[in-house]
Amino acid sequence: MFAYHLRLALLSLRRTPVVSLLMIVAVGLGIGVCMTMLSVYALMAGDPIPEKSDVLYAVQLDNWSPDRPFGEPNEPPRSLTWRDSLALLERTPAGIPRTVTVGTGFVVEVPGAQDVRPEIVTARAASVDFFSMFQVPFIHGSAWSASHDADGAPVIVLSRALNERLFGGEDSVGRELRIGNDLLRVVGVIDHWQPTPRFYDLSVGAFADTDEAFVPIALFDRHQQDWGGVSGSINCWQAPPAEGVFHSECVFAQFWVELPDETAVADYRAFLDAYVNEQKKLGRFARPLNNRLSDVNTWLDVNEVVQDDNSVLLGLSFMFLAVCLLNTVGLLLAKFLGRAGDVGVRRALGASRTRVFGQHLVEVGLLGALGGLLGLALAWAGLLGVRRLYVDYERVAHLNAELVAIAVGLAIAAGLAAGLYPAWRICRIQPATSLKTQ
Amino acid sequence: MLQMKGISKVYRADVVQTSALRDFNLTVDEGEFVAVTGPSGSGKTTFLNIAGLLEAFDAGSYLLDGQDVSRLGDDARSRIRNEKIGFIFQGFNLIADLNVFDNVDVPLRYRGFRAAERAQRIQRALELVGLASRGKHLPSQLSGGQQQRVAIARALAGEPRFLLADEPTGNLDSVMARQVMELLEEINGRGTTIIMVTHDPELARRARRNVHMLDGQVTDFTEFEAAIRVRETRAAAGA
Amino acid sequence: MEIRPILSALLRNRTGPLLVALQVAITLAVLCNAAFIVQQRLAKMDRPSGYDEDNLVTLQVINFGRLPKEAGLAAIAADLGALRAMPGVVAASATASLPMSNAGFGWGFQRTADANDPTNTSASLMLADQYGLEAFGLQLESGRWFTPEEIGTAADFAEFGATLPATVVISRALADQLFPDGKALGATVYDSSTRAPATVIGIVERAQGYFVNNPGVERSAFYPVVIASGESLYYVIRTRPGERAAVQREVESALLAVDPRRILRDVRSFGEIRATAYQNDRAMTITLLTVIALLVAVTVLGVFGLMSFNVNRRRKQIGTRRALGARRSDVVRHFLLEGWIVTTAGAVIGVALAVGLSVWLVSTFDLPKLDWRYLPVGVLALWIVGQLAAYGPARRAAGIEPATATRSV
């Protein structure tokens, strides 16, 4: 029966091309606009590391001014001081993966290579658990050994893209790079890795590129004066001392721990409280205890990664879809009821209500599917537009399989929403009416 | 074959109530050709709609082919229409978007026959009405008489037990009307029961039995068959 | 005219008109709110920055490694000299960050040295040398700019934080915030973390700060300091009108001629900085305008479809009216009126919906409350497009022959 209904639907489409086209365009526009907004929204609101997002926790400590909170009403700063980061790195109980990380940048040169221009790279200082906690994939070599976090050995991990620019993509493990007056040895090259949003450090934008190079924190700490320093936001509630921000109450470092369950979270909270209480005795942390542990998705919320504009646009685009669907319902109703005579005949010839309903649902489904296809094409074009409008979304605003599936689902839901009522109306047609008219 | 007892049907508009059938009784036997006549508004069409299970009624009982169809749901009624009843309408009621073949196909589709069986039946029905070569034509490419023959083929294709015809020649000129009547008589001759509503006394006389309706009730039976038989007997006796 | 019979005809077949009315309602709600947001963004993007934007070129200098204080200052002086020597350049200045660039120092100022001074006000802090006024093209409203002798030097940011200068130039907006009494010039303000004092020696009419999305963007202050380390070094170059593009093309080679061993980054006109700063607002505006246009188009189609359907369904009735003496214009009027009734019904629901949507936007996203004047304008706009959409079918109805009444189908 489905094949028969499909044939009838195609016939109906051909018989009334203008109205059918209007309906397809209406559904397509609605879905296209909705999908565009939804894609942007979904990618912003997406889980960047779904396998581990509920066990990775960002740490916040409230070392802010006794006079006022970092943010109203009583928000602690969104990053840590350097000294607290190093202290937590060292004192976090054994067995708990932890990492401190901060953005930086420096100029790298390949010693002896004439054809490779020195270039400035966005880099990241991190402690070694960074790679395993955040599931960073390696193509060559590996992370540095744990001892380098503290001894400041001159080692570096490169991104795939940087390795291609500097070494033509070959296995560069063991090669050397010059940064300032130091020679650093390459120990690993990571594969393409782009968590979106870039949850592990949101301070320079949630959709920034991942870093091009990684160095151990002790090495970075030693070169805070002569390399590029911190890139990202440095927030201070009092002027830093003459020794610089690394010795101040200024915050700029991200600290993450991996905690497998509720008990571990509770234990770690207690650990943080104990640390802050101890620091209070030393005259720091004048504010009341206000430590926070946020898992990845909570952290994205705290940092307002999804912009209000995108939520507003998503809301408005659903209203737009509603208008398109109301439009389609009206057109379908007119079209179906205009065919009441034929339906009366079919009913007289033995088509049950269910059959008539089914026939029209298939037609509606066909329109929905075509509208969905158009919508998908429009969403693709829409995202092209979004990428032009927002430089930051260059990478985010793309269609992926999941979004295509959502589009198809949305199209079917939309088609059904628009088609159920007209199909129901038409299947209520009494078979007798055709005998009376004509 | 068909037995209606005390059927009544009332139409309710916003304020007015119209009685279309009042205590209507009629029995039709297998193989009969019954013409229902009566003036406009006498309830002919309502009778036909109820007989064809197109419309429900308010009171009374209706046995069709031995089955009580008074309380059936929509699906069951649809199936009986599809399998046991063939309809022929005054306005032909072909589906304009479908060609002749597909029009005849409509009831067979709902019957659930396989493709080969459908094609065979359609071919046979179209041959019967003399339009076997017109399968690809759209209704708009046919004359009125041809269209009505397609409609008859559509009614016959499912081999129903009886045919309901509503002014089958009403929209046709006299030549075509005669052809259609002859076709119906031929069909009846093969054993299919036919009930035909008409206001044309000429046509009605060609049926074997006449039922005259007035104000929703049967007022008069004319048993042509009996009359003819008497004549035939007399003729035989006289000879 | 004949509103009552039209209304009762609409009510008898109410599903179609109701659907169109709902479309009109949602369209009005979205239209008013979206147009209001667009207007706000346009106004925001239209704010003057206080800089001579048309004639500015900026760039960032990144040294390979860090320079000692004296060498750093000498390098900057050499660069600025080379820049000034370029044809078409009016002035050049060194600074540590660029206004409207979404990166820079947020600083607190207050009127007293007290720890809990309620006058504590945040502002964008910019570092400038004696050429800053001319290089940025700022308008000095009162007082004076820094003299060469006032320009302090610091090896790096740490040293700068420890030795804040004694003079400051502030923007009018910051002056008004700190000194509502209007006595800012010559007054002393305090840095709210170290509580170091500085005398306000000048007030510029306007100098937007770093963060254009921050409501305090108009509040800014200039300290007379040059940082030698090159940790964060930008040059601002003001050109003669019409010569910006040429300078922008030549500036890299001019600087690399001074010293090739460094990286020059982001050579940009101020227009590019502005475009980046407002890209979200611009994108929002364009997106909303697109949605509005599509929405109105779909709604016009809806009204058009309904009216066409009604005309087709009533061909015979219209023919009968014509046979009974209705003029073509009467028929047109009839259908225009019908369209108007549907649009108006939608508009009535739409006004309520628009207010509801506004309440949601205000409560969820902290957007400003919808200006009520958008409602009548929106209704008027929908009336007009509604009538335009109904006009075609109405004309077609008027073309129906009176003889249609006597034909059978």
Query: Shortest Cα distance from C189 to chain A (angstroms)?
Result: 16
Q: Helix axis angle, A340-348 relative to A353-389, nearest 10°?
A: 140
Distance of alpha carbon A325 from alpha carbon A27, whole angstroms: 6
What residues of chain A lie within 8 A of the CB of C59, using their CB? none
Q: Around B45, how many Cα atoms within 13 Å sit in the side-chain half-sphere?
A: 16
**Chain A interface, mutation test: which of C13, C192, C298, C361, most A Cβ atoms within 10 Å?**
C298
Query: Shortest Cα distance from A403 to chain C (angstroms)?
Result: 20
Q: Which tops the pLDDT comparison, A320 or C157?
A: A320
* pLDDT at site C34: 95
CB contact under 8 A, A29 and C294: yes
Centre a 10 Å sphere on the Cβ of residue A112 and count the other Cβ atoms it contains.
8
A436 touches B: beta carbon within 8 Å: yes
Q: Which residue of C has its CA nearest to A229?
A: C231
Q: What angle do CA C175, C178, C183 make, to 5 degrees?
A: 60
A67 → closest Cβ in C20, C116, C161: C116
CB contact under 8 A, A435 and B154: no
Q: Find residues 353-382 of chain A whose CB sits inside 8 Å of chain B.
A: 353-355
What residues of chain B lie within 8 A of the CB of A344, using their CB? 93
Residue type, C205: E
C19 → closest Cβ in A236, A312, A326: A326
Residue C127 confidence class, pLDDT cut points 50, 70, 90? very high
Say which CATH number the domain at B204 has: 3.40.50.300
Q: Which residue of C has its CA nearest to A316?
A: C30
Distance of alpha carbon C343 from alpha carbon A1, whole angstroms: 42
CB contact under 8 A, A350 and B93: no
Query: Shortest Cα distance from A432 to chain B (angstroms)?
Result: 5
| Phi, psi of C381, rounded to the nearest 5 degrees | -60, -40
Q: Which tops the pLDDT comparison, C266 or C231?
A: C266
Q: Which tops the pLDDT comparison, C336 or A67?
A: C336
What residues of chain A lie within 8 A of the CB of C295, using their CB? 320, 323
Q: Which tops the pLDDT comparison, C243 or B174?
A: C243
Please name the residues in contact with A21: beta carbons below 8 A apart, sequence gap of 6 or more.
none
Which has the minimum average pLDDT: A222-231, B48-57, C55-64, C261-270?
Answer: A222-231
> How large is the average pLDDT for residues C214-227?
93
Residue C156 confidence class, pLDDT cut points 50, 70, 90? confident
CB contact under 8 A, C305 and A331: yes
pLDDT digits (tens, 9 = 90+) for C167-215: 999 999 999 999 999 889 999 999 887 888 999 999 999 999 999 988 8
Which structure tokens are listed for C169? 């130039």
Distance of alpha carbon C251 from alpha carbon C239, whole angstroms: 11
Q: Is A204 exposed, middle or buried (0-12, 13-18, 19+ CB in 10 A)?
A: middle
What residues of chain C lie within 8 A of the CB of A379, using their CB? none
Residue pointed to by tokens 């030393």? A282
Centre a 10 Å sphere on the Cβ of residue A30 and count the other Cβ atoms it contains.
31
ipTM of the complex: 0.86
- B221 is a domain residue: yes
What residues of chain B lie within 8 A of the CB of A1, using their CB? 109, 112
Closest CA to A346 of A229, A238, A430, A233: A430
Q: Which residue of B has its CA nearest to A3?
A: B109
- B3 is a domain residue: no
* pLDDT at site A76: 94
What residues of chain C lie within 8 A of the CB of A391, using their CB? 276, 279
* pLDDT at site C331: 87
Per-residue model confidence as pLDDT tens for chain A (438 residues) = 788 888 888 888 888 888 889 889 998 999 999 988 888 888 788 888 988 999 999 999 999 988 778 887 889 999 999 999 999 999 999 999 999 999 998 888 888 877 777 888 999 999 999 999 999 999 999 999 989 988 889 999 999 999 999 999 999 999 999 988 889 999 999 999 988 889 999 887 788 888 999 999 999 998 877 777 788 788 888 777 777 788 889 999 999 999 999 999 999 999 999 999 999 999 999 999 999 999 999 999 888 888 888 889 999 999 999 999 999 998 888 888 888 888 888 888 888 888 899 999 999 888 888 988 899 899 889 888 888 887 666 666 677 787 788 877 888 788 888 889 999 988 888 775 444 443
Domain hosting residue B96, numbered range: 30-42+73-238
Count structural domains, chain B: 1
A348 → closest Cβ in B52, B97, B98: B52
Query: Shortest Cα distance from B80 to chain A (angstroms)?
Result: 7
The pTM of the whole model exceeds 0.90: no
CB contact under 8 A, C162 and A333: no
pLDDT digits (tens, 9 = 90+) for C82-110: 999 999 999 999 999 999 988 888 888 99
Please give the mean pLDDT across all residues of chain C. 90
* B75, containing H or E segment: helix B74-84
Which structure tokens are listed for B149? 């023959």
Please, which chains are in contact with C (at least 3 CB pairs closer than 8 A)? A
A92 touches B: beta carbon within 8 Å: no
Distance of alpha carbon B149 from alpha carbon B65, whole angstroms: 26
* pLDDT at site C408: 46
* pLDDT at site C179: 94
Peptide bond into A73 cis (omega under 30): yes
DSSP-based three-state secondary structure for B87: strand
Task: Indicate if the pLDDT at residue B239 is higher than 60.
Answer: no
Query: Shortest Cα distance from B158 to chain A (angstroms)?
Result: 10
What residues of chain A lie within 8 A of the CB of C263, using their CB? 107, 118-120
What residues of chain C lie within 8 A of the CB of A311, using their CB? 364-365
> How large is the average pLDDT for residues C372-379?
94
* pLDDT at site C409: 41
CB contact under 8 A, A349 and B87: yes
Closest CA to C251 of C235, C262, C227: C235
- B147 is a domain residue: yes
Query: Shortest Cα distance from B7 to chain A (angstroms)?
Result: 17
Query: Shortest Cα distance from B78 to chain A (angstroms)?
Result: 4
What residues of chain B lie within 8 A of the CB of A335, using their CB? none
Highest mean pLDDT among A283-287, B15-19, B77-81, B232-236: A283-287
CB contact under 8 A, A389 and C288: no
Q: Which residue of A has its CA nearest to B160?
A: A349
Determine what percent of chain B is predicted with pLDDT higher than 90. 14
A4 → closest Cβ in B89, B109, B154: B109
Give DSSP secondary structure letters for A259-319.
--SHHHHHHHHHHHHHHHHHHHHTT---SPP--EEEEHHHHHHHTT-S-HHHHHHHHHHHH
CA torsion C104-C109-C113-C118 (nearest 10°) is -130
Q: Helix axis angle, C328-365 relative to C315-323, nearest 10°?
A: 140
Query: Shortest Cα distance from A431 to chain B (angstroms)?
Result: 5
Q: Which residue of A has its CA nearest to C196?
A: A239
**Chain A interface, mutation test: which of C13, C14, C19, most A Cβ atoms within 10 Å?**
C19
Q: Which residue of A has its CA nearest to C292?
A: A320
